[in-house]
Structure 1
Amino acid sequence: MNSHYAEPRSLPEPAHSPAPVAALLVAAGRGLRAGRGAPKQYRLVDGHPVLARALAPFLAEPAISRVVVVIGEGDDVLYADAVAGIDDARLAAPTPGGTTRQDSVRRGLRALARDGFDGIVLVHDAARPFVSLALIGAAIRKLGDVGMAAIPALPVTDTVKRTDDSGHVAETPPRDQLVTVQTPQAFRFKPLLEAHEAAEAAALHGFTDDAALMEWAGHPVATFTGDPANIKLTHAEDFRRANARPGEVLVTRVGTGYDVHAFGPGDHVWLGGVRIAHDQGVVAHSDGDVVIHALTDALLGALADGDIGTHFPPSDPQWRGAASAQFLAFAASRVRERGGRIDHLDLTIVCEAPKVGPHRDAIRVAIATAAGIPVEKVAIKATTSERMGFTGRREGLAALATATIRLPEAE
């Protein structure tokens, strides 16, 4: 059973936050329960490092201004290999972790404090690579509503019993009062750092998550609805289930996308998530990124899941000026939620200017980061229209995209 795959969910709301938001990913564990091999955060799921998959949705969330990863001692090469191809200024240099998760989180918080950060921090276990952009946004919004701490939770479906030292049942707690919790957990930064420092000063090292530490410090902890797909990879069997789909055949699907925008007043255009200086801007509801819009439609077309206007209607003011990378991240997450894989993204940009060649590699990296795929799976070509048509007259620019994916179908 592939418990991390779920039916497509509704469109995530934008995660507007009046306070700066940082993400802290804990990747310092050794993963001994996962069996022999590299630490689990550096193993592959669907051909991609677990850590890279966990990072992608956080880097696709525009509200997040800083991402810190805490890694184990001696894991520098493993980390560099896992994040190769990710080119995002928000991703800080890795921070060395400690011997326990609690110690590692404290060190990550201290690294943020040294940079002068204050605001909202999302603490996430790197061993949860199926975290969605929707859940990240829900964490940010929930903390804005409740104040100090907010954690994703799911109701318990099995009966839970507490046993005594002899192994006999001592208590059966009411199931309707029990939940299981996940990450990312959202906190006000300074209270969480203060709680960590106080626990360290008191030599208390047994906290299994940051919410428990905040409870100990006397802060209220709110919950919001978690995601059943957001599983934690712990044992070797978890990896086998994540990579195997018994009884399913992956069928190739191809989708196409096209977008065009007219030039207007401005000094830059966005192409594939990269800001390029130009003597004009574009007329658009969002940031007018024809590359991202075409790719998003190509993925949605391969899924037979509507188009970009279905999910991000231009009539909705919340998308005015929005960064288009989140649209592509959303479409890519729809593929993964269906148990699918993105095999290739191919794009042609049509314009007389600006010149695309000098920015080709940066655009490929930005697209790969937003889609959560290796940069080798992104191809970009650019052409003119030989001075014919609206692009030839320099009235605008266009993009054509093809997305090749595989989706599971029952035998």
Structure 2
Amino acid sequence: MSNTTLILLGAGSSSRFKTKMKKQWIYTEDTPLWLHVVEHFEKSASFDKIIIVSTKNEINLMKNFASYTYIEGGNSRQVSLTNALQKVTSEYVLVSDIARCCVPSDMIQRIMGAKEEGACIVPVLPMVDTLYLENSPIDRDKVKIIQTPQLSVTKMLKKALETETIFTDDSSAIASLGEKVHFVEGSADAHKLTTIDDLKKLSCIKAPSSITLTGFGIDIHSFEKNKEMFLCGVRIDADYGFKAHSDGDVAIHALIDALLGAAGMGDIGEHYPDTEESYAGADSKDLLQDTVNKIESFGYSISNVDLTIMTEAPKLLPYKESMRSTLASILGIRKNFVNIKATTAEKLGFVGRKEGVTVHAVANLTYLNWKNI
């Protein structure tokens, strides 16, 4: 047993990354960045437990990739770390940021190997440039660039964070107690991913795989008198609509399921449950836009979609062009990548009896190629 817990922090908003995707969800080959980081740490050292700190929505998806301990973060690094520390029982805790994604194995081993040297073990780099403090130069030999990961005695770190004082890293929290901070050699390769340009400095991150991910969706709704009908976000001229908690756009509902399926993100009921009052009468176009935003934030790009609408009535030929344009606009793809087919049930079943509509949808995704950004 290593008597050490690994905590990886990744609950930030990635606001400085300035792309649709969060940086922890860029793909290196077929692996999201956060998982790439975890697996690298696992290969580099032994841990009793691994804790990933992220947001609620991201944790729901992360659980589909691997079985670690997941903790919901807070509105700051310190709050997120405090939340995670509640689950730590080991003597030591190694804390790093997912954004510090190319930490060399030998640097991790140097940190782990210095456990007995202080209450906090910190990797550092020397300052090589001239420094000024306001208008006066300072001795750069007395300055250190602090990196993560940092190894702390767990009880000391917990105690240090029991304060209103905000610390920028673990070492400054430990130092505030008067405890010893021990420095080891860091690495210029352990560059932190903050902006999209930083990817050029991170040799361990490879281009995303070109694999196509396919999802399938199906939805069925019966008719309801005296309700507006919407299909693919377009109002249909009929004196009946669909019986549903939302506006009942059965085509968009099937499409949402197809998109979520391709991304491995569950189904529409998990994201927009019909038990929640906030979705009563909801415009399905808004739900689709929200789905697209989620998918793109998790590192996926929509390639094309194909829908088959099975109905005896109403006739949909006059609406198909408008349907394609509406969906293409929401999905952020050209109209030719949106295909809509309409067919009948040959008067068989509930569709044939003109009691409702069934829609089948297929969606194809790829990993967003950040090299083209």
Residue of structure 2 in register with 1:151 after alignment: 122
Secondary structure at 1:33 match in 2:
coil
Which structure has the bigger radius of gyration?
Answer: 2
Indicate the residue corresponding to 2:75 in structure 1: 99
| Code of the aligned partner of 1:138 | R
Deviation track 1:311-358 (CA, whole Å, cap 9, x = no partner) reads: xxxxxxxxxxxxxxxxxxxxxxxxx5xx88999xxxxxxxxxxxxxxx
Q: Is the 8 A contact 2:29 2:206 kept in 1?
A: no
Q: How many residues align?
A: 209
Match of 1:173 among 138, 158, 169: 138
User: Which of 31, 45, 54 is residue 48 of structure 1 equivalent to?
Assistant: 31
Alignment of 1:23 with 2:6, yes or no, is yes
Structure 2 match to 1:124: 96
1:137 maps to a residue whose letter is: Q
Give the 5 Å matches for 1:1-400: 20-45=3-28, 48-61=31-44, 63-80=46-63, 84=65, 86=66, 91-92=68-69, 94-112=70-88, 117-144=89-116, 146-163=117-134, 169=135, 171-197=136-162, 199=163, 203-204=164-165, 206-242=166-202, 336=204
Shift of 1:121: 0.6
TM-score by length of 1: 0.47
SS in 1 for 2:48: strand
- 1:337-394 deviation digits (Å, cap 9, x = unpaired): xx88999xxxxxxxxxxxxxxxxxxxxxxxxxxxxxxxxxxxxxxxxxxxxxxxxxxx
Question: Would you say the 8 A contact 1:152–1:185 is kept in 2?
Answer: yes
Q: Is the 8 A contact 2:189 2:202 kept in 1?
A: no
Contact 1:41 1:49 in 2 (8 A): yes
CA contact (8 A) 1:42 1:78 kept: no
- Pair 1:229–1:47, CA change in 2 (3 A): farther
Question: In structure 1, what residue type is equivalent to 2:93?
Answer: V
Residues 1:36 and 1:229: Cα distance change in structure 2 (over 3 Å): same
SS of 1:118's equivalent? Answer: coil
8 Å CA contact 2:126, 2:143 repeated in 1? yes
* CA distance in 2 between partners of 1:159 and 1:190 (Å): 38
Quote the offset at 1:77 in angstroms.
Answer: 3.7
CA distance in 2: counterparts of 1:25 and 1:31, whole angstroms: 15
Aligned-partner Cα distance in 1 for 2:44–2:196: 30
Q: Which structure has the higher relative contact order (CA within 8 Å, separation 6+)? A: 1
Task: Give a deviation string over 1:193-217, Cα, whole Å, max 9, x none.
Answer: 11112x2xxx22x311111111112
CA RMSD, aligned part only? Answer: 2.4
Give 2:152's aligned amino acid. F
Q: 1:118 to 1:175 in 2, by over 3 A?
A: same
> 2:129 is matched by which residue type in structure 1?
D
Q: Deviations over 1:16-56 (max 9, x none)?
A: xx860111101111111111323211223455322112111
Unaligned residue ranges in structure 1 (runs of 5+):
1-17, 164-168, 244-335, 344-411
Q: Distance in 2 between matches of 1:219 and 1:185?
A: 15
Structure-2-length-normalised TM-score: 0.52
The 2-side partners of 1:234 and 1:41 are apart by 11
| Distance in 2 of aligned mates of 1:180 and 1:67 | 27
> Could you tell me how far apart the structure 2 residues matched to 1:46 and 1:110 are?
34
Residues 95 and 242 from structure 1, CA distance in 2 versus in 1: closer, same or farther, beyond 3 angstroms? same
CA distance in 1, matches of 2:31, 2:132: 38
Describe the SS at the equivalent of 1:32: coil
Q: Tell me if structure 1 keeps the 8 A contact 2:45–2:109.
A: no
